[in-house]
Amino acid sequence: MGLNDIPVFIARTPQEFHDLLLATRPDPATGRPDPARVGPFMSTHPEVAGAVALVSGRTITSGFADDTYLSLDTFRLLGMNGVSAPVRWAMVPVTPPRAAPSGTGPDYLFEDLIAALHQAPLQWRLVITTGEPSDPTSDPTRAWPASRRRIDAGTLTLDRAESEDNGPCTGITYDPTVLPAGITASDDPILPARSAAYMRSFTLRSGERKPASAITPAMVATGGPS
Amino acid sequence: MNAVIRFSALARLLHWLMAAMILAMLFVGVFMAATEGAAYDTLLSLHRPTGITILALAVIRLGNRFLVAPPPLPGTLPAIQRMAAKGSHILLYALMVAMPLTGWAMLSAGAYPVVFWGSVHLPPILPHSPALFALLRHMHTWLGLTLFGVIVVHLGAALLHALVLRDGVFRAMASLRPGRCGRD
């Protein structure tokens, strides 16, 4: 399962995402996106502008441990009666989110998570939201109304971290269209694009020599930087 | 009209059936690798079962080729063309087997499920290895392009026999008649 801590995705189609990347690419002179290019793009793409505003305005929690992670894309869940329903899901932290991050250094988010896991396991609730016929399934830039039915589908408990070096998640790729029986992809055009793009990037990075991870197995084992 | 010795009916059936399937697969593969649109999923779910079917048919075809001798090439054919014919046929058979095998192997090495159709999955044929996945993924493309090239040469040679040399080689494979010997 691949989840992200933004409320919505920032483009409706692969083409729109491609155009957004071109419009926001850094200006070589300043190292920042060129406002003369970004402005006109946002005014002609109100859906992207709206989604970017939601992403920019989200609450930044203190770290990975108290963050909420969302599917963003819509999937279809097959019911016992053979009828499928559109769903989106989220991992909602059991620990109430604390305010803005306090740490320092390039790796403090990882170090805080490792330290927290050495104290106690961390838990998230898997919350599945079912869509109504009026809810957009093919547009991940639009959030569904907060009043939709929510199903508490279980608890994720993390009891330890793993370094990327020799960790069990190294060397595999996430593909949102590889799904267990009973769950299928929706008509969201971002889903096949993610599948295709992730396989291509997996091919490229698997053919490279991987440098040692900044988060070493020793740091994970001892609970902090040594 | 000369007397001809044709390929066996099974050899001809497999040849034309697989010709259609392999050509379709090359185009499906090229479009699939070039798109990120909704067609990607559809083409991918078509690509995997067709590839596995081609592998199974290629094994049957190779068995048939060893059991039933193909018609001899005409004695008028120069040695260099005989060698080219033999070499290109070995290459075609090798690629027919190698294409599905590298596809299956690369999904295995990448820890992807090898979906045949729906919930029918095939077992992995290689252990999980990202480096091997990257190598096989590139090989799958290059072998596919090589197969495309060899098919173009094969098609050119077939047309040369059919339209210029008219030596019965094309009819030996293109005939619709059931028996191996006779007049067309």
**Could you give the ipTM of this predicted complex?**
0.82
Task: With CB atoms and an 8 Å threshold, state whether A207 touches B131.
Answer: yes
B131 in A contact zone (CB under 8 Å): yes
Give the tens place of pLDDT for each residue, A34-74. Answer: 999 999 999 999 999 999 999 999 988 989 999 999 999 99
Nearest CA in chain B to A174: B112
B86 in A contact zone (CB under 8 Å): no
Compute the average pLDDT of residues B165-170. 91
- Which pLDDT score, from 0 to 100, does residue A171 have? 85
R_g of chain A computed on alpha carbons: 19
A169 in B contact zone (CB under 8 Å): no
B4: confidence class by pLDDT, cuts 50, 70, 90: low
Highest mean pLDDT among A166-180, A200-214, B77-91, B163-177 belongs to B77-91
**Rounded Cα distance, A144 and B6, in Å:** 67
Residue B120 sits at φ, ψ, to 5 deg, of -85, 110
A117 in B contact zone (CB under 8 Å): no
Give the tens place of pLDDT for each residue, A143-190. Answer: 999 999 999 999 999 999 999 888 888 888 999 999 998 999 999 999
Residue A101 pLDDT more than 80? no
**For strand A183-185 and strand B120-122, is the pairing parallel, antiparallel, or unpaired?**
unpaired
SS3 of residue A41 by DSSP: helix
Q: Tell me the pLDDT of chain A averaged across its residues.
A: 92
Residue A16 pLDDT more than 80? yes
Residue A78 pLDDT more than 50? yes
Interface test with B, best of A137, A175, A201, A206 (most B CBs within 10 A): A206
> Which residues 6+ apart lie within 8 Å of B44 measured at CB?
B32
**Rounded Cα distance, A77 and B23, in Å:** 37
Measure CA B53 to chain center.
Answer: 11
Residue B123 pLDDT more than 60? yes
Residue B11 pLDDT more than 50? yes
- In chain B, domain spans: 3-183
A202 in B contact zone (CB under 8 Å): yes
**Rounded Cα distance, B168 and B51, in Å:** 32
Q: How far apart are the first and last CA of chain A?
A: 32
Give the tens place of pLDDT for each residue, B20-63. Answer: 999 999 999 999 999 988 899 899 999 999 999 999 999 999 99
B1: confidence class by pLDDT, cuts 50, 70, 90: very low
Alpha-helix residue ranges (DSSP H) falling in A33-83:
35-44, 46-56
Taking a C-beta distance cutoff of 8 angstroms, is the pair B54, B97 a contact?
no
Q: What percent of chain A is predicted at pLDDT more than 90?
A: 80
Compute the average pLDDT of residues B66-73. 92
**Rounded Cα distance, B88 and B68, in Å:** 19
Q: Which residues pair with A156 in a beta bridge?
A: A124
Nearest CA in chain B to A210: B131
Q: How many other β-carbons are positioned within 10 Å of the β-carbon of residue B80?
A: 8
B121 in A contact zone (CB under 8 Å): no
Q: Give all domains of chain A, ordered by start, each with its CATH number.
A: 59-222 (2.40.180.10)
**Rounded Cα distance, B38 and B45, in Å:** 12
Nearest CA in chain A to B118: A181
- Which pLDDT score, from 0 to 100, does residue A225 have? 63
- Which pLDDT score, from 0 to 100, does residue B3 have? 61
Give the tens place of pLDDT for each residue, A204-214. Answer: 999 888 889 99
Compute the average pLDDT of residues B161-167. 93
- DSSP 8-state code for residue A79: -
Give the tens place of pLDDT for each residue, A115-130. Answer: 999 999 999 999 999 9
Give the tens place of pLDDT for each residue, B124-148. Answer: 999 999 999 999 999 999 999 999 9
Architecture of domain B3-183: Up-down Bundle (1.20)
**Rounded Cα distance, B98 and A11, in Å:** 39
